[in-house]
Amino acid sequence: MLRQISPSYSFILGLEIKNEIGLLGKVTSAIGEAGGGIGAIDLLEVTRHKVVREIVIIARNELHAQQIVNAVEALSDVNVLYVRDRTFSIHWGGKIIVKSKVPLKTRDELSMAYTPGVARICKAIASDRRNVFYFTMKGHMIAVVTDGSAVLGLGNIGPEAALPVMEGKAILFKEFGDVDAFPVCLATQDTDEIISIVKAIAPNFGGINLEDIAAPRCFEIEARLREALDIPVFHDDQHGTAVVILAALINALKIVGKKMSDIKVVITGAGAAGMATAHFLHIAGVKNIICCDRAGAIYEGRKENMHIFKELLAKYTNPDKEKGTANKILQGADVYIGVSAPGAVSVEAIKTMAKDAVVFTLANPEPEVPPEEIYPYVRIVATGRSDYPNQINNVLAFPGIFKGALNCHARQINQEMKLAAAYAIANVIPEEELSEEYIIPSVFNKKVVKEVARAVSRAAWQTKVARKIRKTVSVIEEAD
């Protein structure tokens, strides 16, 4: 079990302490003995008899936080005034707002921004609908669409409970890619209704980011929307994950000295992320990929726990039709990619992998196999967490991909654009700087979005899915 504390479980403890030398030390010792981390300590009030302080404390989970509070409450001469969850605090009132770009302080400004001036803009768009990209939010706005059926690791929790995640996604778009995004949480999980609604709202947006929609419905929804709309439709759980995994794998293979065409890759998880990753690695040149679900290895002709999308997957994976559990299939594998759940594979199975094995154990918050237990047996480990080296995080991909697509007014995001994104992410790290603990750039590396956007725009132009001519795209790229 993972023992790391996390800021997502941090809280502020308000304490009234007797004004006596040594009591603050007893409080901090109690917190430390309970396994908590200590952040800022603020002094709020001092009198002759008491001291009031706020202490930021970092825990592992909610139960651990309560254990820390209990430990402090057990101290004499210390009174717990309040406990304030910092994560809940930053979500209070929501995380996003709508803010005007233009001032409305005079009659002139009002007449230009709204009536009568706005009518001229409406007529310009009506005469040439391409103008909508220049004179409205469409040129820089993404819809983040979900039905709440597969939210994080929480499952089918519904649209209202999904809204904090979609707000968060909108923040990531803006903060990392300077792309505006608006959450759209739908009160339906009917495939036809979702498609109909997204088609109806599409005129407002320059792209559609599908999010947290359960498999296999997500595959059909994305495919049908891609066919129906002339703006990019991108299911991040599939393609964002696959792009960043490929980027990390490109650099990992440079370190271990292996080729895409020669490696055996085992994937646990045959949902959106697992199937998209398998397909993307296949396009990138990996010939031996084996996907495993709860019924074991997927192979052509298997009958148990199959659907049309797994049947299609089986046609280009598992060339030797290996059968059995993921633990069995891992023997001799060069790469393991976990996009499933804790316990999907064992440490003992990891030990049977090939020399210089690469393991991406990406379940979050608890990986498929504890990283600290496998470090002695493999060459490279990556996780989905920020508290280990080599974090595989979709935020490395989707802001830049959409920025590049919007910059050239792309009609779609095709495979060439996604491959360009993966190689752009990988190439942010100079080859001489690569190491076992540095195969993927930080999400805070400002070069990532710029390089990804440029590569995506270039690929869009080369594959003729961009509305803008290349000269215009180049000007925008240089400006960015």
Residues with catalytic function:
114, 169
- Residue 296 CB neighbours (<10 A): 19
Helix (H, G, I), strand (E, B) or coil at 397: coil
Helix (H, G, I), strand (E, B) or coil at 439: coil
Q: How far is CA 99 from CA 96, 103, 115, 180, 262, in A?
A: 10, 11, 20, 11, 52
Cα–Cα distance measured from residue 342 to residue 183, given in angstroms and rounded to the nearest whole number: 30
Token readout for 138 is 């469409």
Q: How far is CA 227 from CA 45, 143, 240, 320, in A?
A: 64, 17, 20, 34
- H/E stretch holding 359: strand 358-361
Q: How far is CA 118 from CA 110, 123, 128, 299, 407, in A?
A: 10, 9, 16, 59, 24
- H/E stretch holding 39: strand 37-46
Cα–Cα distance measured from residue 240 to residue 258, given in angstroms and rounded to the nearest whole number: 24
CB-CB contact of 402 with 232 (8 Å): yes
Question: What's the Rg (C-alpha) of the chain?
Answer: 25
Counting Cβ atoms within 10 Å, is residue 442 exposed (0-12), middle (13-18) or buried (19+)?
Answer: middle
Cα–Cα distance measured from residue 298 to residue 324, given in angstroms and rounded to the nearest whole number: 9
Token readout for 83 is 């406990």
Token readout for 161 is 């409970």
DSSP 365: S
Helix (H, G, I), strand (E, B) or coil at 317: coil
Cα–Cα distance measured from residue 299 to residue 280, given in angstroms and rounded to the nearest whole number: 18
Helix (H, G, I), strand (E, B) or coil at 127: helix
Cα–Cα distance measured from residue 237 to residue 245, given in angstroms and rounded to the nearest whole number: 12
Hey, which residues does 269 pair with through a beta bridge?
A: none
Cα–Cα distance measured from residue 122 to residue 71, given in angstroms and rounded to the nearest whole number: 65
